[in-house]
Amino acid sequence: MPKYSIVVPFHNEEDNVTTLYDRLKAVMEHIGETFELVFVDDGSRDRTYRLLEEIAAVDSRVLVIKLRRNFGQTSALAAGFDHAQGDFILAMDGDLQHSPDEIPNFLGKLEEGYDVVSGWRAQRGDNFVMRRIPSRIANWLMATLSGVNIHDFGTTFKAYRREVIHNIPLYGEMHRFIPALASWYGASICEIPISNPSRQFGKSHYGISRTFRVFFDLLTIRFLLKYMTRPLHFFGTIGAISSFLGGALAAWLLVLKLVTSQHVMDMHGPLFVVAGVLILAGVQMIGIGLLGELQVRHFHTASHRAPYAVDRIVRLRSEESLLQ
């Protein structure tokens, strides 16, 4: 079993595959511990998979996972984490904007006892208006809402203990919230500065649209962190307040009817409708909360379902395994 696993998702990175492999191999061999390189092809349409297959054919330490289509970065990372065998798992991008030379810094922090080590792009070279300002706002909001005091949630360059990352279900675009989710499980987290060199080959797959999606994800992560195991506390509170207000309004209209003999629908028709809507909405919110509680129970008892589909897995068997 390898001590370290390096997980790298690729999507149309044919110009960077070979260079990144050579640099990763040199760094990990210099460290001197057993390791594996887990390369995930996330539905590339260029020669990325062919190059990865050629690398796996000559190096038994390389595991290549080919997904059936482009599932997205979070799902590609989930595939890599699920198949990684190392005690310590490090994830990074495949576009050479994460330097393999910084890997020893991450692994050193894990050896010190931290559960999650997150990279921090302190000096970013991105466009100031389109990338850096939205990123700073999003990271500040993430830190405030999640209670995890780190500067950079967006970078993939992070390292984890195996038992921590395997406890975190990944889907959608949740990879950027791994530190926040890990903190919910009581993980110790630290942050180290990393370089952020400009992309030399290929085209970036991210744009300003991703920034807007982050704000919706923030609402999700806030809800998950506070009400993940007790959704009825959230929906039930709203439902109870709504039902109480509707009931109080209906009671006032009833008293008004009995005391003054007014025609409620003629004199206070809109208020009567509002009272009915509030009561009905409150009952529905409580019902949603109860359904959420059933989902939580199902989550803790159901089998794990992967958010990706693997087409094939390629790994060269080492001479030692052939002799056994």
My answer on whether 215 and 242 are in the same domain is no
Task: Check residue 106 and give its pLDDT.
Answer: 96
Mean pLDDT of residues grouped by 10 in the chain (324 residues)?
94 93 96 95 94 94 95 92 94 92 95 92 61 70 76 88 87 79 85 77 54 67 75 90 94 86 78 92 92 74 65 72 50
Helix (H, G, I), strand (E, B) or coil at 31: helix
Q: Measure the CA–CA gap between 116 and 181, rounded to whole angstroms.
A: 11
Task: Check residue 319 and give its pLDDT.
Answer: 54
Query: Is 319 a domain residue?
Result: no
Select from 206, 228, 250 the last residue of a domain.
228
Q: Rounded to a whole number, what is the distance in angstroms from the first to the last CA of the chain?
A: 15
Residues 124 and 72 sit within 8 Å (Cβ to Cβ) = no
Amino acid in position 44? S
Q: Where residue 105 sits, what CATH number does that domain have?
A: 3.90.550.10
Three-state SS string over 197-256 comes to CCCCCCCCCCCHHHHHHHHHHHHHHHHHHHHCCCHHHHHHHHHHHHHHHHHHHHHHHHHH
Query: Is 214 a domain residue?
Result: yes
Range of the domain at 218: 4-228
Query: Is 320 a domain residue?
Result: no
Q: Measure the CA–CA gap between 141 and 146, rounded to whole angstroms.
A: 8
Q: Which of 115, 112, 87 is nearest to 6 (CA)?
A: 87
Task: Check residue 25 and give its pLDDT.
Answer: 95
My answer on whether 99 and 235 are in the same domain is no
Instruction: Give every CB contact of residue 79 below 8 A, 6+ residues apart in sequence.
Output: 40, 65, 67, 306, 308, 310
The pLDDT tens digits of the residues spanning 94-128 come to 988 899 999 999 999 999 999 999 998 876 655 55
My answer on whether 159 and 21 are in the same domain is yes
Instruction: Give every CB contact of residue 137 below 8 A, 6+ residues apart in sequence.
Output: none
My answer on whether 188 and 77 are in the same domain is yes
Domain count, the chain: 2
Task: Check residue 47 and give its pLDDT.
Answer: 93
My answer on whether 66 and 212 are in the same domain is yes
Query: Is 309 a domain residue?
Result: no
Query: Is 321 a domain residue?
Result: no
Could you identify the residue written with the tokens 């290549």?
64
